[in-house]
Structure 1
């Protein structure tokens, strides 16, 4: 049985999303467990960017723009993915980031930065 190229792309994308989520969870756990230091500051920067991404994707207009950009990229390769599916994946990633924050008691770093900065 041969696997079509579209199915292979789907498998690779799902694997990439799963790997990214596992890496993000590891970073959240490390951030929660490590004492203050250079490594924790580096992880803080990454988590801050994840938090900013989640905040942006909660904005409907920015989310719609991201969906359109992803469709444009995939359309160039003649891969048609429904916008609703892309939106669902974005929503799932935002929910995963928020759950990781809650599970590790990591504060909303983006909001804290705005308060302190």
Structure 2
């Protein structure tokens, strides 16, 4: 059974989101478990960028711009995805990031800046 182009893109997108969340969780766990070292500092820089992304997506205007940009990219391939579905995925990803922070006890890294 072959998949249509739209379904393949959907599966690839789901796989990319799953892989990104697994990688983020691994980084949060490493940050929480490693002693102070250079590698931990590098991980904290990555976590800071992840946190900044989550902060931007919690901002309604920036979230709307991200949804519009994703729709434009998908529209180029003539794939129509409801904005509500894209917004739900963004909200779920932000919630997952916040839960990862809470589960690993990662401090607010904004205070470093």
The 4+ residue runs of structure 1 with deviation greater than 3 A are none
Deviations 1:43-86 (A, max 9, x none): 00100000000011111001001100111111111111110011
Query: In structure 2, how many angstroms separate the alpha carbons of the residues matched to 1:2 and 1:8?
Result: 9
SS in 2 for 1:79: coil
Q: What is the Cα deviation at residue 33 of structure 1?
A: 0.5
Deviation of 1:18 (Å): 0.5
Bigger mean CA deviation after superposition, 44-53 or 74-83: 74-83
Which structure 1 residue ranges, 5 or more long, are not aligned?
none
Superposition TM-score, scaled by structure 1 size: 0.93
Residue in 2 aligned with 1:19?
A: 19
Once residues 6 and 66 of structure 2 are traced to their aligned partners in structure 1, the CA distance between those partners, rounded to angstroms, is 21
- Calculate the TM-score normalised by the size of structure 2: 0.96
Structure 1 residue aligned with 2:61: 61
State the Cα distance separating 1:3 from its structure 2 match.
1.1
Deviations 1:83-113 (A, max 9, x none): 0011000000000000000000001212x23
1:7 aligned residue: 7
CA distance in 2 between counterparts of 1:7 and 1:53 reads: 27
Count of matched residue positions in the alignment of Structure 1 and Structure 2: 113
CA root-mean-square deviation: 0.9
SS in 2 for 1:3: coil
Q: Distance in 1 between matches of 2:66 and 2:108?
A: 22
